[in-house]
Chain A
């Protein structure tokens, strides 16, 4: 009797897996790969394929013939405005989030220890635990004409300042809650954790001696930031900006609740595939953020953003 005759079926199975580690890897990866490949990417490609069809203007039915005319429609002024507006919003939200997130992430990575670190994670994650809709509606109340923000300006006798700001074209409006500034503030609030965490993770990996070496070689704090800290944190910054940028590009709820009546890409997609029944144009709009992100990542790579990885 050999050693293997005495072990159970489960035991023999694990012995087999030990002998063929490749089999184990295949078993582990196959279900998620199928999910990712068929259900996730498959439906995405099905959607994208729609963008190469067009809609019959008279009957409102989809013509299943290859055409680029739907893409041409994106360049109509009313549609192109939506794209420009959305990209400008996404870019400014990303920039503002990065500026706010960096010091927070730097503090957490360099100085926070033990309980303070736990508090940092709690502070960053806590807003993510509550419903996104609740947060957005709360902001609508905060920013409303009779909201707490105007009350604060009034109490500080700064109402004039707020009104002067609201009278600025494009940025301002009747009140903050129906202005682009309001949309911008809510976006920054909602996406900020997605910027802080990747930056913090990348700063965590920068050894203190790296910063000391920079100072030791004569770099003042500004130079150390520009030549050492920023390049080493860039992968985290890029990762964070992918989140904030793409989430802003695709969101259709925030601009609907807080902001002006002018639409963003997400709202356009929502309306074209819903009430308007124009699936091809909706699909073409959905391709825009994907293309923009692709170009963005390509440029980032060319600029060496991932060299420190």
Chain B
């Protein structure tokens, strides 16, 4: 099957800065794909390379098998939901949504009807006459979504789509985006720095750091079997154990990942000292000193919480300690 988007050896350098560095990537058609990473990791530049706002310094990009390196943005079958939404302030909501159809030469009556239908799809009917400045952040986001979807793109790109929304609205939009994607069957590629968002929404996640892809996989893969210390630390703030400690605990000399929530306080097991404790609401986070290395433990509500300075013993299931690939040190 032809991938929706294919990167082969793609680099984008800005002077000395390697924003994207030799990236290979295949996104399957109909997939909900997340690009996850801290700011400056190259994820947004990758998105802009797909949209055509940036051109690769080297390498090739294909969209549904079409070489796209030399195709300008306005001829690509992709549409973008911008981080700042980029709604046109001089046009009302209907004209904003109908913009793509207007420049494509669709008649006024037909494009307004299409815009209306798409606004209903994103649950924002009846706002057609308003100007973007009269809408709330969440409503603007829906308009931006409708404006992209009305063109029936083959790939929809979303740049930090929920970044500007408050927590409640963000959770609601996550659900809606997911069901929308399932309903339309369009390939969604979205960029986020929020690992929770990536894990909960995406079919597959690519984790970026320093312009390179660290790992691509399902959310379970990324979370349970991180391949590099960076992935382990960035996704779910796992404990990354040094090769020395891992050798003592598991007998393999390599970096290892140990999820804070999979550690139990037991009578037996390894001895450690409580350094700090933080109440998080649903859980309490302890920082322990285990043979000179810091280890976080997440205790669920209701568990007995030791005091700072206490001597405790910790243990975990054998498969909770994940020994990582040593290639990317």
Kindly list chain A residues whose C-beta atoms are within 8 Å of the C-beta of B87: 213
Taking a contact as CB atoms under 8 Å apart, the answer to whether B99 and A210 are in contact is: no
Specify which chain A residues have a CB less than 8 angstroms from the CB of B99 in the assembled complex. Answer: 214, 217, 219, 227
**Do B90 and A212 have beta carbons less than 8 Å apart?**
no
Nearest residue, chain B, Cβ from A206? B89
User: Does A223 interact with chain B (Cβ within 8 Å)?
Assistant: yes
Whether the Cβ atoms of B104 and A218 lie closer than 8 Å is yes
Closest chain A CB from B152 CB (angstroms): 11
Complex Cα distance, B88 from A207, in Å, reads 10
B154 within 8 A of A: no
Stretch at the interface among B77-85, B219-227, B296-304, B312-320: B77-85
Q: How far is the CB of A131 from chain B (nearest CB, A)?
A: 41
A231 interface contact, C-beta 8 A = yes
State the CA gap A307–B104 with chains docked (Å): 25
Q: Which of A209, A219, A227, A308 contacts B82 (CB 8 A)?
A: A209
Task: Point out the residues of chain B lying under 8 angstroms from A220, CB to CB.
Answer: 72, 74, 103
- Point out the residue from A212, A216, A227, A308 that lies within 8 Å of B102, measured CB to CB: A227
List the B side residues contacting A307 at CB < 8 Å: 90
Query: Across the interface, do B74 and A215 meet the contact criterion of CB distance under 8 Å?
Result: yes
The verdict on A149 contacting chain B, using a C-beta distance below 8 Å, is no
Q: Are B74 and A219 in contact (CB under 8 A)?
A: yes
Q: Is B147 an interface residue (CB 8 A)?
A: yes
Interface string of A276-309 (1 = CB under 8 A from B): 0000000000000000000000000000100110
Given known contacts A219-B99, A227-B103, A210 and B88 CB-to-CB distance under 8 angstroms: yes
User: Which one of B80, B89, B103 lies within 8 Å of A308 (CB-CB)?
Assistant: B89
A223 contacts B103, C-beta separation under 8 Å = yes
Contact B53 A212 (CB under 8 A): yes
Q: A204-236: which residues lie under 8 A (CB-CB) from chain B?
A: 207, 209-210, 212-220, 223, 227-228, 231-232
Interface contact A218-B72, CB-CB below 8 Å: no
Q: Does B27 contact A (CB under 8 A)?
A: no
Which residue of chain A is the closest to B87 with respect to CB atoms?
Answer: A213
Tell me if B151 and A218 are in contact (CB < 8 A): yes
Query: Using Cβ atoms and an 8 Å threshold, which residues of chain B touch A218?
Result: 74-75, 100, 103-104, 151
Residues of A within 8 A of B80 (CB): 212-213, 216
Complex CA gap A210/B86 in Å reads 5
In angstroms, how far is the closest chain A Cβ from the Cβ of B80?
A: 5
Interface status of B38 (Cβ within 8 A of chain A): no
What is the CA–CA distance of A232 and B281 in the complex, to the nearest angstrom? 48
Least distance between B78 CB and chain A CB atoms (Å):
8
CB of A216 within 8 A of CB of B74, answer yes
Contact A217 B90 (CB under 8 A): no
Q: Which residues of A contact B74 (CB under 8 A)?
A: 215-220
In the complex, the chain B residue whose C-beta lies closest to that of A305 is: B90
Closest to B73 in A: A215
| Distance of A231 Cα from B79 Cα, bound (Å) | 23
Distance between B29 CB and nearest chain A CB, rounded to angstroms: 20
**0/1 interface trace, chain B 81-115, chain A, CB 8 Å (1 if under):** 01110111110000000011011100000000000
Q: Which of A213, A214, A231 has the most CB of B within 10 A?
A: A213
Most chain B CB atoms below 10 A, which of A214, A218, A227: A218
Whether the pair B82, A217 counts as a contact (CB closer than 8 A) is no
The residues in A between 182 and 207 inclusive whose CB is less than 8 angstroms from any CB of B are 207
Let me know if A207 and B84 touch, CB within 8 A.
yes
A232 close to B103 (CB less than 8 A): no
26 examples of A-B residue contacts, CB within 8 angstroms: A207-B86, A209-B82, A209-B83, A209-B84, A210-B86, A212-B51, A212-B53, A212-B73, A212-B80, A212-B86, A213-B80, A213-B86, A214-B103, A216-B51, A217-B79, A217-B99, A217-B100, A217-B147, A217-B148, A217-B151, A218-B104, A219-B100, A219-B103, A227-B102, A231-B90, A307-B90
Given contacts A212-B80, A214-B103, A216-B73, 7 further A-B pairs with CB under 8 A are: A213-B80, A213-B88, A215-B53, A215-B73, A217-B74, A218-B103, A220-B72
Q: Which 9 A-B residue pairings sit nearest by Cβ, starting from the closest?
A: A217-B100, A213-B86, A209-B86, A219-B103, A215-B73, A308-B90, A231-B90, A216-B80, A215-B74
